Amino acid sequence: MSCNKCKHLLDIQDLSSPYVIRECSDCNRKINLREAGDNGHGIKMEKGDQFIFPKNFIKMSANPLKSTVRLSKGGLEWFAKLIFVNDLPTKRESIQEEIKKNGNYSAYFQMTPQLEKEFWQFTTK
């Protein structure tokens, strides 16, 4: 059901990329929209719009073929820390095993007692 105010707005069918849900202020109809933003860039949003990222739209992977985003240098650093370092403080007992696993992704290095001490100081800050 639509009213005179929103009858010109048609629900989009393809919900596989981001869109907004706009509620008509007169009849409360919820409309799925993807209108071009200013100068054709991005998606137009109005006050009260709900912005939707479809499930699985954003996939991050170190492998560009499995990723839907392109990471900047800073983003790549953040991502590497997130997947390789963030949960390591909880794996103190199995650190040697974790290093062996991560060795598949990085150049080989040996964890010396001094390096391990510095590592824990760095990751538990």
Beta strand 30-33 with 50-52 is unpaired
For residue 115, what are the CA distances in angstroms to 24, 106, 111? 60, 17, 6
In this chain, which of 9, 15, 21, 24 binds Zn ion, going by CB under 5 A? 24
Contact between residue 12 and residue 33 where contact means Cβ atoms under 8 Å apart: yes
Q: Candidates 4-12, 14-22, 37-45, 78-86 — which segment interacts with Zn ion by CB under 5 A?
A: 4-12
CB of 10: closest distance to Zn ion in angstroms? 12
In this chain, which of 9, 12, 15, 29 binds Zn ion, going by CB under 5 A? 29
Name the one residue in this structure whose structure tokens are 């095993």. Answer: 97
Contact between residue 95 and residue 118 where contact means Cβ atoms under 8 Å apart: no
CB of 71: closest distance to Zn ion in angstroms? 41
CB of 70: closest distance to Zn ion in angstroms? 39
Read off the tokens for 69: 């985003």
Give me the sign of the Cα torsion angle 71, 75, 79, 80: positive
In this chain, which of 10, 16, 26, 50 binds Zn ion, going by CB under 5 A? 26
Q: Candidates 20-28, 64-72, 76-84, 112-120 — which segment interacts with Zn ion by CB under 5 A?
A: 20-28
Q: Which residues bind Zn ion (CB under 5 A)?
A: 3, 5-6, 24, 26-27, 29
